[in-house]
A and B are shown apart, each in its own frame.
Chain A
Amino acid sequence: GENVEQHPSTLSVQEGDSAVIKCTYSDSASNYFPWYKQELGKRPQLIIDIRSNVGEKKDQRIAVTLNKTAKHFSLHITETQPEDSAVYFCAAPGDDKIIFGKGTRLHILP
């Protein structure tokens, strides 16, 4: 069935370093790939998304890359800051619903 795998489940990086979170999906018809950030006690919020007609999209310190052949997409955060600490979810559309990855808890170490 449809599936979205997200890795790692937990990631700790030194402040100022880069963080990369990867997701793979199974439905080859998927064409929209959003990333959501959820801070502690708050709601998930869209931070960046990519559609299948492009391979990369950047917005300041965050970027998303998409490899449709391999069916994976990644979130890249550069020059990490304390406020980047949160849980990050990838998502991909399935047949009749959007499927979320299980989340990555990102810790930014001082």
Chain B
Amino acid sequence: DTAVSQTPKYLVTQMGNDKSIKCEQNLGHDTMYWYKQDSKKFLKIMFSYNNKELIINETVPNRFSPKSPDKAHLNLHINSLELGDSAVYFCASSQGDHSNQPQHFGDGTRLSIL
């Protein structure tokens, strides 16, 4: 009964490929996020969706495209993968917006670009 589940857990692929990471939450939350955590452990927000609407789009290359088919799902598609994309990507969700509610994180997807 994982609250925020993302797949796959590990993703190893060649530079230039296109890949997707999926995320689902069963908490009934309105808002979902994608974070990138680099090798120094910095947590950087990439995107945020509230009820399927994009509300935060940080300075992220347009090779990254989020898609929210419904408020329980937020997927991340990455085109033309580059070496610098290697990181752990965390999906998260919260009730309402970010400003006064805790975020619930998924277990992460470790992306390694060869």
Contact = CB atoms under 8 A, between A and B. Distances in A.
Interface of A: 31-32, 34, 36, 38, 42-46, 49, 51, 87, 89, 93, 96-98, 100, 102-103, 105
A103 B41 contact: yes
Chain A at the B interface: SS class: strand
Chain B at the A interface: SS class: loop
B43 A32 contact: no
Contacts of B56: 96-97
Contacts of A93: 98-100
Given A87-B41, A96-B56, A102-B42, A44 B100 contact: no
B58 interface: yes
Nearest to B110: A41
Query: Which 6 pairs show the lowest CB-CB distances between chains A and B?
Result: A93-B99, A32-B100, A43-B105, A98-B98, A46-B102, A100-B43
